[in-house]
Amino acid sequence: MSTTGYLGTTASAVKVCFLFCAVQVVCAADDIFYTPDILKGNVAFWKKIYTEVSLTEGLLHDRDYPMVIYRKVSIGRSEGRQRESLIKTAKADIQLMLEHISSQPESSWTAEEKNIAAMFEKHAGGREALTAAAERIRFQQGQKERFYEGLYRSGMYIDTIRSILAQYDVPQELAWLPHVESSFNHHAYSRVGAAGLWQFMRSTGKLYLKIDYDIDERLDPIASTYAAAKLLSHNYRELQAWPIAITAYNHGLNGMKRAVAATGSRDIAVIIQRHESPSFKFASKNFYGCFLAVCDIAREPSKYFSEVKYAPPVRCTDMVLSHNLQPAVLARSVGIDETVLAALNPAIRPVVFRQQKHIPQGTRIHLPQSMSPSYIDSALAMVPKTLKLDTLPETGYYRVSKGDNLSAIARRFGVPVAALAEENGIGRASHIYAGQILRIPGAAVSEAREPVLSFVEDKRPEMGLAPPQAEQKVTGQPEPLQETHKEKTPAAATSAAAVHLQAAPVESIPDTLKEAALARADEPAPEIIDALKGQQQGRFDADVYHLEVEISPVGNAASIRVSVDETIGHYAEWLGVAQWRIRQLNRLGNHSVIHIGQRLTIPGDTATIKRFVEKRLEYHMALEEDFYGQYKVAEVREHIIKRGESLWTLSTDESGEIPLWLLQKYNKHLDFARLMPGMQMWIPVIVEKTAEDYAAEKNMGPPAGGYPYYNEPVLPPSKPMRITP
């Protein structure tokens, strides 16, 4: 559920338009999904975009009167500046024609200019609407192929979705809403973090779903449908009208309550015409109109597409894990391949399979329908007890400092270099870099004498205070490690796994890893260089974020700096406390907002702060992993900040929003809390990954500290698609 309006494409948050004209309600008593006159042009426009205009082309049209369509523009597979140049040139041509229409007699107009004037007569209520029309020209990319693919994919879950909606008295037409949100792609991920079939943002999704570094139920079509049904049902109970309840799915329930209060009406037509709000923009004003468009198409797809085919329904046998199991163990025990397990369980994040993390007990697992519950129970009963854990292994992360090397880090924690390299996907040509996060194998974390976390600075030793007896001491970032042949005494080994993780001498490092193991970590090359050279991207750099934590002298609180994409709600969740405690501790009112770089005090003992640091780090890693799973930075643009520009305006371009963390990643030299006119910054240009990108990543593998590809969405058979005229 994206507040920016996903509208059927992972490429961008589509900005939609509306008509300024008299409100005429045409609504039968039993027609809960009526079409207001002010949205008829928009519905027709989006039907055209969904069924007639290809992804390789787009329409230049009037933002407020969408059926005033100036020109179809072919963009092919162009990206970045090339694509922008094509659109900009066409816009400039149209602006000249509009200027000529406004300033010259009709006898001098060209045939195209006369056609433009006629469109304003027909679709905009007259030529008066030509005023400021040059400022309202916008480009909308076609979605024909994507909608067709959505029709095919809808076959996998549409019957199940309808059944779930019926349980919550949600109208069956709402089963088509994923056409607007995600084109029925349960892997869909928007630029700003909306995920899954129903495009839930993390904040809203957490009300109904489990979302953390291991499990993200937004990506599970079944679990997320239950969540969507509950949310839609709740919206309707609060708003008492389905058109505004649907709009609330995009704009938010409180936002629509304010709209109702401001206009004194529950009529969507009245609200669209009269409600004024900085956040109630194009996408929100036309979200309902887009829903009406997809309903018309989905009811009779053969009117718009020929040879419409649907994927077969997905049927599964479900079970709930009673123990923590690694995915390889689970797959092997029931006799399926891990790729099948991953495909059936998209809620299990790729990092769990990549690092063979344990799937948490209590997780609902989907298995092939051919497996009976009794077979599954007996198969899991045969799993050795040593592989079925009652508690999850302790997690450990280490932030690489300048001057570190892999061999020395391995010795510090009593881990073989090969094991540390394998844990982090480091190969022959991979070199660690400053700011990289290394995952320390679980057994080494539990047995290590030295703490693994490297974001926590304990201020008590500086003041001559010993940490409380019941707490484990957490020290600060160690000094850069120096290469030496003297081995560190490994941590005491009390288990078979720990014995396996004994430190190895330098001479025993595999030849294929020696270069990578002994190379010192330097400052990472600027991300802009990677983008300009077209190198593979996606390295997590902890130095982008303010992750350092200072434990207070008394040991019951800590000091942090606010980083990008963080809220008091996040801090409360990671600490396991109520938000009011954090607000009270920092003397913040209920409506006070926090800012990037601001100092805050958070409550908690050392164990709580340790958990906070892990959850905070995993949150930022998850945002990057999900983004790089579907997007790439095609290029970067140099920009000089102008007077009046804000962080919000700088993070928005014509194709949608730019995640703040990504903007910070390319501008580590800037303090986002102190942006001033005249400063230079780099703006990343975001594009969706193509099939060729995925294929290249499969062949190359991810870079050290980088993210692998996600599974591409299920597509219809590779057969030419014919569009019915």
**pLDDT, position 585:** 95
Residue type for position 204: T
List C-alpha distances in Å: 620 to 199, 543, 563, 657, 660.
19, 12, 10, 18, 12
Phi/psi at 319 (5° precision)? -145, 160
Q: Report yes or no on 675 lying in a domain.
A: yes
pLDDT for residue 517: 84
717 falls within a domain: no
Cα distances from 537 to residues 92, 522, 636, 653, in angstroms, run: 34, 18, 13, 21
Residues 160 and 14 in one domain: yes
Q: What is the CATH number of the domain that holds 643?
A: 3.10.350.10
Mean pLDDT of the chain: 83
Specify the length of the chain in residues: 725
Structure-model confidence comparison of residues 7 and 278, the more confident one: 278
Whole-angstrom Cα distance, residue 40 to residue 123? 10
* Inter-axis angle of helices 253-263 and 242-251, nearest 10: 130
Spatial CA neighbour of 413 closest among 472, 326, 510, 481: 481
Is 616's pLDDT higher than 90? Answer: yes
Residues 377, 334 contacting (CB under 8 angstroms): no
Burial 645-666 (b: 16+ CB within 10 A, else e): eebeebbebebbbbbbbbbbbb
**Which of residues 387, 418, 441 is at a domain's end?**
387
Among 490, 496, 498, 493, CA closest to 442: 498
Which residues lie closer than 8 Å to 552 by C-beta, 6 or more apart? 459, 558, 559, 601
How many structural domains is the chain composed of?
5
164 pLDDT higher than 80: yes
Higher-confidence residue of 468 and 635: namely 635
List residues bridging with 57 in a β-sheet. 74
Question: What backbone torsions phi and psi does residue 216 show, to the nearest 5 degrees?
Answer: -135, 95
Q: Are residues 235 and 121 in the same domain?
A: no
Q: DSSP of 372-400, one letter per residue?
A: -HHHHHHHHHTS-GGGSBSSPPPPEEEEP
> Is 710 a member of any domain?
no
Q: Output the CA–CA distances (angstroms, integers) from residue 164 to 42, 150, 637, in the order listed.
A: 30, 20, 46
Let me know whether 154 and 23 are in one domain. Answer: yes
**Max CA separation in the chain (angstroms):** 94
Q: Beta-carbon neighbour count of residue 479 at 10 Å?
A: 9
Whether the CA torsion 537, 543, 544, 550 is positive or negative: it is: positive
Q: So what's the pLDDT on residue 197?
A: 97
* Three-state secondary-structure class, residue 677: coil
More confident residue, 259 or 674: 259
Residue % of the chain over a pLDDT of 70: 81
Same domain for 382 and 401? no
Domain range for 473 is: 396-524
* DSSP code string of 155-187: TTTHHHHHHHHHHTT--GGGGGHHHHHTTT-TT
What average pLDDT does this structure show over 202-229? 97
CB 481 within 8 A of CB 412: yes
Tokens describing residue 40: 């008829």
pLDDT at 2 over 90: no
- Alpha carbon distance 163, 170 (integer Å): 10
pLDDT digits (tens, 9 = 90+) for 233-245: 999 999 999 999 9
Rounded to whole angstroms, how far apart are CA atoms 679 and 128? 42
Residues 350 and 499 in one domain: no
pLDDT of amino acid 502: 38
| 635 DSSP β-pair partners | 685
Residue where a domain stops, chosen among 387, 412, 432: 387
Sheet of 557-561: strand order equals 456-458, 549-551, 557-561, 599-603
Q: Which two tokens stand for residue 555?
A: 């040991």
Q: Using an 8 Å Cβ cutoff, are 681 and 667 in contact?
A: yes
Looking at the fold, whether 407 and 489 belong to one and the same domain comes out as yes
The last residue of one of the domains, among 494, 524, 554, is 524
Domain membership flag for residue 476: yes
Q: 7 falls in which pLDDT band (50, 70, 90)? A: very low
Tokens of 660: 């703040």
- Asked if residue 9 is part of any domain, the answer here is yes
Percent helix, strand, coil in the chain, to 5, is 45, 10, 45
Mean pLDDT is lowest, of 2-11, 89-98, 258-267, 312-321, for 2-11
What pLDDT shows up at residue 153? 96
Same domain, 177 and 30: yes
pLDDT band with cut points at 50, 70 and 90 for residue 507: low
**pLDDT tens, residue by residue, 638-649:** 999 999 898 888
The secondary structure of 4-60 as a DSSP string is: T--TT-TT---------S-------TT-SS---HHHHHHHHHHHHHHHTS-TTEEEE
What token pair was written down for 539?
């390295």
Q: Comparing 213-227, 374-388, 578-592, 626-640, which segment has the lowest mean pLDDT?
A: 626-640
Is position 233 within any domain? Answer: yes
**CA neighbor of 517 nearest in space, from 505, 527, 525, 526:** 505
Query: Taking 90 as the threshold, does the pLDDT of residue 462 lie above it?
Result: no
> Is the CB of residue 367 less than 8 Å from the CB of residue 334?
yes
Pair (251, 157) in one structural domain: yes
Residue 161 exposure: Cα atoms within 13 Å on the Cβ side = 25
Placement of tokens 């014995």 in the chain: 499
Q: Which of 374, 332, 324, 371 is nearest to 348 (CA)?
A: 324
List Cβ neighbours of 80 (8 Å cut-off, separation of 6 or more): 634, 635, 685, 687
The crossing angle, in degrees rounded to 10, of helices 282-299 and 37-51 is: 60
Both tokens of 389, joined, read 């854990």
**Average pLDDT for residues 525-546, to the nearest whole number?**
66
Based on the domain organization, do 359 and 455 belong to the same domain?
no
| 335 and 433 share one domain | no
Considering the domain boundaries, does residue 277 fall inside one? yes
Q: Check whether residue 164 and residue 238 sit in a common domain.
A: yes
- Note whether residue 568 is domain-resident: no
At 425 the pLDDT is 80
In this structure, the strands spanning 396-399 and 437-440 are antiparallel
pLDDT-derived band at 426 (thresholds 50, 70, 90) equals confident
Measure CA of the first residue to CA of the last residue in the chain; give whole Å.
33
Q: Are residues 284 and 354 in the same domain?
A: no
pLDDT of 392: 87
